[in-house]
Structure 1
Amino acid sequence: MESIINFEEILDLVGSPENRLKRYRACLYEFDQLQYDDPFIKQIRLELAHLEEQVKTLAKI
């Protein structure tokens, strides 16, 4: 499987909420395709929901 993130993203040097949302969605898409789920994936889903709320709040400002 090809990596969906680059080195800078791994080091979290690129970390706007919108960029993280894009990465998390791509990551979850891959895991969904593999029908894989574990506590780490659940944590990503929770973070995704939190980021979605954060982006909505920032958009209102």
Structure 2
Amino acid sequence: MDSIIGVNEQIEFGATPEAQLARYQVCLSEFEQLQYTDDYVLQIKEDIKKLQALIAKKGEAV
């Protein structure tokens, strides 16, 4: 399954990984409140993990 995090999204919205993570977490929270799950929700969870790792790595480099 391909990531839904895209370079185009980063360029279009000027989103930092932290901003993307916050947006994805809000989205996931909404789906969880609705008790809804499908492949898209699973991909959001995977992308959240990738963003968290990217942010952690970025923090280590500083």
- Is the pair's TM-score, using the shorter chain for normalization, greater than 0.5? yes
Shift of 1:14: 2.8
**Percent identity of the aligned residues?**
35
**Residue type of the alignment partner of 1:40:** Y
Number of corresponding residues: 52
Higher relative contact order (Cα pairs below 8 Å, separated by 6+ residues): 2
Is the helix fraction higher in 1 or 2? 2
Q: How does 1:14-25 map to 2 (within 5 A)?
A: 14-25=14-25
In angstroms, what is the RMSD of aligned CA positions?
1.7
Partner residue, 2:36: 36
Any unmatched runs of 5+ in structure 2? Answer: 1-8
Stretches of 4+ moved more than 2 A in 1?
A: none
**Residue type of the alignment partner of 2:44:** I
- TM-score normalised per structure 2: 0.77
CA–CA distance in 2 between the matches of 1:21 and 1:46? Answer: 11
12-21 or 22-31, larger mean C-alpha shift: 12-21
- TM-score normalised per structure 1: 0.78
